Structure 1
Amino acid sequence: MAEFPSIDTDLLRTFAAIADHGGFTRAAEVVNRTQSAVSMQMKRLEDDVLKCALFQRDGRNVSLTPEGHVLLGYARRILKLHSEVFNTLRQPHMVGTVKIGSPDDYVMRFLPGVLSRFAQDYPLINVEVHCEPSVQLLQRNDLDLTIVTRKPGSEMGQVLRQERFVWMVAQGFSPHEQTPLPLAMFNTDCFCRTWACNALDIMQREYRVAYTSASLAAINAVVSTGLAVTAQLQSLLTPDLRIIGEAENLPLLPSASIVLLRKPNNASSPIIECFAEYIVEGFKL
């Protein structure tokens, strides 16, 4: 049987970081190495180990060669298996299930990255995600971790981030010029719907809730076609939408706190605390 040189997982980890972040400089920050050290690692991988070019370099721009794309698939599989071995043998207690509740909008915006990183590091932990409005989630006591929206000053638990609600409409459309103002909002149990309607009532702006859904994707689909205005957290703004406000005769909306709650009267397990740390980091992005 032919003998091949072994591939250091550190080389594969750096290679994957370059592919994920589009260049050597950002990858160096991610793997906590200098840019010159990253360059030397990749030179070793290309020249000494695999003996083929993995990158196409055009000035500061870096892209993968066909061979690089092939390696990337294998690298991800090898790194995943490497992680599984260590997590299974070194942390056998990190096996089980964690139940998390979150409104639909946070699931779409923040949780994909959190879940992806957590699954890579702890592949034997099952995560149950329950999507409901904050009001309903606050009434449940069966969830290990819960992400909810609160007004500043009424926070409970650990504050993940604070940001303002804003009015959004589709690029190139002006439904805010209509009377009554057509709104696309979450269903009645949503904090943002209550705050938006209260603000319009105070300024005596006529409106109608023309479209409702429990799904952020459905609301964005309505708004992006120019049929209505919505009020959402600023971080949920998508490229096909734009922010409007007082210049368009709309009231200023309050800020909101996104908080993380732990199950009351329950000794937190290592699994729950570990996943909570990933959530905290994920909401910083």
Structure 2
Amino acid sequence: MASYPSIDSELLRTFVAIADHGGFTRAAEMVNRTQSAVSMQMKRLEEDVMQRPLFQREGRQLSLTAEGQLLLGYARRILKLHAEVLSSLRQPHMVGTVRIGTPDDYVMRFMQGILVRFAESYPLVQVELHCEPSFQLLQRQDLDLTVVTREPGTEIGQLLRQERLVWAQAKGSGLHERSPLPLAMFNAQCFCRAWACNGLDALGRDYRIAYTSPSLSAIMAAVSAGLAITAQLQSLITPDLQIIGEAEGLPALPSASIVLLRNERSHSQVSETLAEQIVEGFRL
């Protein structure tokens, strides 16, 4: 059998820490070793792997050589695979399927990061993501976990966060000066739409529903194009939009609650582990 040289994963971990933090001193703190121990590790790595220097100094600045840059890409991949193997072997019970329901409002803003972190820790779990409006999700009985938007005072399940509803338009569009105001809103069953319309009615502002959709991405496409104004939770407003309000003659809007529901009939360690990560992810 052919014999191949091996690489100690701890050496690679220290090497990546040096590359990420720009020096031996900070890296030593991150890997909980002395600076001299880190230096010895890198000397060993250079001898074991390439017989060439991995670092070069220019004055006080430390940088990677061409060989160091090459090794860095491989080191990151090796450490990631190493973590996946350990996670799979140490958590053999974390296998199965978990079904999540959420409005598409929260997929890109919150769920994307949550699902990436969950997949890295539990790569053998299959996740089914069902995107529907809150009022439809509340009628389903086949989901393990459900994230929905609720009016204050009607919260059920676990409160994830509360957010103010705000008005937004494309920057420089000046749509707030139009009469009637063109609105892009969710379908009629959405209580946030009712809040926005009732607020405008109370101020005597004329408006028309120019665009309607159950999809936040469709609504935001119309708003970003300068075709309409919308009212959404503040965390969902993208950088290309301008938040407007009472100074532009629009009514102040209430806050809504985002809650997590657990299906006790399908409770499992898989679903509870993901629920914990959802709770943490919505705090960010």
TM-score of Structure 1 vs Structure 2, range by shorter chain: 0.7 to 0.9
Q: What amino acid does structure 2 have at the position aligned with 1:262?
A: R
Cα drift, residue 84 of structure 1 = 3.0
Q: In structure 2, which of residues 9, 13, 17 is the aligned counterpart of residue 11 of structure 1? A: 13
CA offsets per residue over residues 61-105 of structure 1, 9 Å max, x none? x99876666555434433343233233322221100000000111
Q: Please identify the structure whose Cα radius of gyration is greater.
A: 2
Distance apart, 1:239 and its partner CA:
1.3
Structure 2: which amino acid aligns with 1:83? Answer: A
Judged with a 3 Å threshold, the aligned counterparts in structure 2 of structure 1 residues 275 and 244 are, in CA distance, closer, same or farther, namely same
1:167-224 Cα offsets, whole Å, 9 max, x none, are: 0011111111111100111223333222212222222221111012222222222111
CA, structure 1 residues 43+239, in 2 after alignment: closer, same or farther (shift >3 Å)? farther
Give the superposition deviation at 1:2: 5.6
**SS in structure 1 at match of 2:208:** strand
State how 1:160-239 maps to structure 2 within 5 Å.
160-239=160-239
Q: How does 1:263-278 map to 2 (within 5 A)?
A: 263=263, 265-266=264-265, 268-278=267-277
Q: Paired residues, what number? A: 273
Please report the RMSD computed on the Cα atoms of aligned residues, expressed in angstroms. 3.3
Aligned-pair distance for 1:226? 1.4
- Aligned equivalent of 2:54, options 30, 52, 60: 52
Distance 1:57 1:39 in 2: 23
Over 6 Å off, 4+ runs? 54-59, 62-66
In 1, Cα distance between the equivalents of 2:216 and 2:167?
Answer: 15
Question: Residues of 1 paired with 2:210 and 2:34: CA distance?
Answer: 56
Work out the CA distance in 2 between the residues paired with 1:150 and 1:65: 55
Is the contact made by 2:16 and 2:76 (CA closer than 8 Å) also made in structure 1?
Answer: no
Structure 2 gap segments, 5+ residues each: 47-52
Map of 1:85-124 to 2, 5 A cutoff?
Answer: 85-124=85-124
CA contact (8 A) 1:101 1:143 kept: yes
Give unmatched runs, 5+ long, in structure 1: none
| Deviation by residue 1:28-49 (Cα, 9 ceiling, x = unmatched) | 8xx9x94695894876665542
What is the aligned-residue identity percentage? 58
Partner of 2:139: 139
Q: Which residue is 2:153 aligned to?
A: 153
Report how far residue 3 of structure 1 moved. 3.0
Deviation at 1:146, TM superposition (A): 0.3
Give the TM-score normalised by structure 1.
0.82
Q: CA deviation at 1:7?
A: 2.7
Flag the 1:35–1:239 CA change in 2: closer, same or farther, 3 A: same
Q: Give the TM-score, by structure 2 length.
A: 0.83
**In 1, distance between residues paired with 2:214 and 2:59?**
46
Render the CA deviation track for 1:7-38: whole Å, top value 9, x for unaligned: 3188169639x75xxx579xx8xx9x946958
Separation in 2, partners of 1:56, 1:124: 46
Q: 1:6 to 1:239 in 2, by over 3 A?
A: same
Task: Show the 5 A alignment for 1:7-46.
Answer: 7-8=9-10, 11=13, 15=17, 34=29, 37=32, 40=35
Do the aligned partners of 1:183 and 1:210 also contact (CA within 8 Å) in 2? Answer: yes
Give secondary structure in 2 for the equivalent of 1:152: coil
